[in-house]
Structure 1
Amino acid sequence: MKKYNWAILGCGWIAEIFASDLKVLDNAVLYAAASRDISKAEKFAEKFGFQKAYGSYLEMLEDDKVDIVYIATPHTLHCEHTLLSLKHKKAVLCEKAFAINEKEVQLMINASKEYNTFLMEAFWTRLVPTFKKVLSIIESKKLGALKTVQSDFMFHSPYNEKSRLYNLDLGGGALLDIGIYPVFTALETLGEPKNIISNAIKSPTGSDEHIDIIFEYENDQKAYLRAGFKNDAPNYSIFHFEKGTVQISREMNCPIIIKTEGGIQELKEDDGPGYGYYFEASHVMECLDQGLIESPILTNEFSLRLIKTLDKIRAKVNVVYPNHD
């Protein structure tokens, strides 16, 4: 088994979750961590067992031993850091949202092709067994055609203009931070909508504190999507078929609940230990073993369709990111 040296670019809380899951994989070497603050990088490296700490992203990328870079900086920096990593011939797994808008995502995809170097959006939920089981149920047609998708992601986070969640300069707002999950769920299961309806509650900074989205499709198919920081919620995704419903939770290792005329059935898929992020890390290494520069499952074309959809939603609620739109 070939082992790969992983590097973390940006040592925030999402990077901590990813690093803890990376430890699960025998072929993943926790090699380097980089932050603009060297002391933060050193603390991160010590906490998770990385071999090296850098106080400069560029210095880390110039390290020839780095194989794969996981980018965990704010949304508005994803494009810049991805382009820099690809230029240094480092495989990239970049956190969602992939970038701020379609233009930036296209630049990233073009760079991946130019430098012949791997690039993938870090959409871990696509690769966990529970979601893959839902896709297999849809494909099997055992419950008939999929008619409606409901998907929520909400939690309470008090308003703070300095918080990343509310700061437009950092790509703040419910849509790109957590609304991307419900939008992804609808696109992956129903496809691209023919029409989008969206309304948002704005924070004082102008960010979307809460957003409601409806996707309308042919054949009367619809998706009802919600995301926000105003209140907590159960955060289920419910798939309505002609002959029943399928419900999944955003929590790991929760049962799939199937309701039909015959009653209620619970299916349990083993989503494994940790937070589920190791599935995407493992998949990246599988792709590199095969000499690929993009995932056949989480394609860059899908990420481009996703960001185009997010751009359309933002335009409808008039959320603008300074210096990016």
Structure 2
Amino acid sequence: MTSQRKTYNWAVLGCGKIARKFVSDLKLLPNARLYAAAARDLSRAQEFAGELGFEVAYGSYEALVSDPKVDVVYIATPHSHHREHALLCLSHQKAVLCEKALAMNSNEVNEMMACARENNTFLMEAFWTMFQPSYQKAMEILRSGELGKLKIVRSDFAFNAPYLEDKRLYNVKLGGGSLLDIGIYPVFAALTSLGLPETIKTFADFSPTGSEESISVICKYADGAMANLTSSFSSYSPTQTEYFCEKGHMVLTPRWFTPTHITVWKEGGEVTTYPNEHKQGFGYQYEAEHVMKCLDQNRIESPVMSWQMSRDLMKFLDRIRIDAGIFFPDHDKNLFF
């Protein structure tokens, strides 16, 4: 006889495009209840809630976190506001799954984690790639040693976005720039396979708003390994990740950060393809399911997407920004590295 799992009341803070995708996958989980949606504009929250099937809608985030029925909040606002909104939720002891980048810099990340610890409340960065079966399989192959030592990681993410200076992608006040929006994925690919680099060299091109439009990062590791990472809003790329090893190489095909398939080449000509076996949704349900398992176990930190992983990821991004000269005046005034 198996015990029935607890059902959690989910709330969404910020009713944009990414939230719609996440919620569509949340519906695939039987122990996830679509309870509340909140936006600064009540009519927008009501429209979102009505369309997606939430029970209540709020026109302020303060009202959302004051609702005693809310168990866990998915934060889907621009990353320039993640610190503010996460601290609001955590101080009301609402578990938090916060979109990436978790914050704007390491100081903000540390403040959010300190608040989670002080309130004994769960916090996790919503880096959905970490929970994709295909990505977990790729990491398993690298760790197995069957391809020998990993020597080079090459990862990219680029698309040609229209230049709209007031919109999130180019607005410095909203953390605009390709690095924190999509460049975080190639950085994540290097971090999870090689760790933090010894040396970083960057080349960046900036838009008229002062936001970084394209960036290329070369990383060198103490053991001789290297990583070549690229992101851009001004061109298209294959959007794939390649791992070059001593005894072969492995490729995660386009849109590698979502459920995808893997091809492995070994010296001698052997080729193995691991097909994408993902059947439903976009792939956000895996991280949501993990969050609820952590809550079942009374955890405040994920053992998979740990606080240390998020700290290291933000430290990596901070070092890239320093080398490239990417600066966010509203956030970096008191930032020391």
Q: What is the TM-score normalised by the length of structure 2?
A: 0.95
Is the aligned partner of 1:286 residue 2:293? yes
CA offset at residue 265 of structure 1? 1.9
User: What residue identity is the alignment partner of 2:68?
Assistant: D
The corresponding residue for 2:324 is 317
For the Cα contact (< 8 Å) 2:123–2:300, is it kept in 1?
yes
The corresponding residue for 1:178 is 182
For the Cα contact (< 8 Å) 2:124–2:306, is it kept in 1?
yes
CA offset at residue 253 of structure 1? 4.2
The corresponding residue for 1:33 is 37
- Structure 2: which 5+ runs fail to align? 333-337
The corresponding residue for 1:256 is 262
For the Cα contact (< 8 Å) 2:132–2:259, is it kept in 1?
no
The corresponding residue for 2:230 is 226
Is the aligned partner of 1:199 residue 2:203? yes
Separation in 2 of the partners of 1:116 and 1:253?
A: 33
Q: What is the Cα-based RMSD across aligned positions, in Å?
A: 1.0
Separation in 1 of the partners of 2:260 and 2:187?
A: 21
- Structure 1: which 5+ runs fail to align? none
The corresponding residue for 1:54 is 58
- Counterpart secondary structure, 1:200: strand
Give the alignment of 1:147-186 within 5 angstroms: 147-186=151-190
CA offset at residue 323 of structure 1? 1.4
Is the aligned partner of 1:13 residue 2:7? no
Is the aligned partner of 1:113 residue 2:113? no
For the Cα contact (< 8 Å) 1:253–1:272, is it kept in 2?
no
Q: What is the TM-score normalised by the length of structure 1?
A: 0.98
User: What residue identity is the alignment partner of 1:9?
Assistant: L
User: What residue identity is the alignment partner of 2:323?
Assistant: K
Higher mean C-alpha deviation, range 213-222 or range 101-110? 213-222
CA offset at residue 322 of structure 1? 2.2
CA offset at residue 263 of structure 1? 3.2
- Counterpart secondary structure, 1:219: coil
- Counterpart secondary structure, 1:220: coil
Is the aligned partner of 1:43 residue 2:47? yes
Q: Percent identity?
A: 51
Q: How many residues align?
A: 325
For the Cα contact (< 8 Å) 1:238–1:245, is it kept in 2?
yes
The corresponding residue for 1:83 is 87
Q: Deviations over 1:16-41 (max 9, x none)?
A: 11111111111100000000011110
For the Cα contact (< 8 Å) 1:253–1:268, is it kept in 2?
no
Higher mean C-alpha deviation, range 254-263 or range 215-224? 254-263
1:237 to 230, 238, 241: 241
The corresponding residue for 2:147 is 143
